[in-house]
Amino acid sequence: MRLLNIAAALSGAIALIMLVLVAHALQLAPPDADRMQLGAFIQLTAAAAGLAIANRDGRLNFIAGAMILAGAAIFSGTLYALSLTSDRSFVMLAPIGGITLILGWIALAFTNPLRR
């Protein structure tokens, strides 16, 4: 679960960096800024979940946490890229990330929350 802990912590750091950039350094139009903030919010929420899941035992917990973090990274990364470049060629990755994120949360519902 150490790997999940590291990934979640780095994901949280990236989300906070994106929030700081959109608030202070980037001059984005409101729709792009809103898109960046949404991506950061989703990524930060997933990072917090990943940190909580990293303290649990079991393979299904690891899989659920990895899916949540990966889905959030794909979804948020797509929003970041779209906001910064206005290139829509990769926008079809967003549903893949969103579905992975949702499936991770569903998988978490079937895990054992107790430590062994």
What's the confidence (pLDDT) of residue 115? Answer: 60
How far apart CA 56 and CA 32 sit, in angstroms, is 37
State yes or no: pLDDT of 30 exceeds 80. Answer: yes
How far apart CA 67 and CA 56 sit, in angstroms, is 15
Burial of 29 (0-12, 13-18, 19+ CB in 10 A): exposed
What's the confidence (pLDDT) of residue 17? Answer: 95
User: 104 vs 5, 20, 42, 64, 88, CA distance in Å?
Assistant: 16, 28, 14, 4, 26
Cβ(61)–Cβ(111) below 8 Å: yes
How far apart CA 104 and CA 20 sit, in angstroms, is 28
Residue-averaged pLDDT of the chain = 94
Proportion of the chain above pLDDT 90, given as a percent: 88
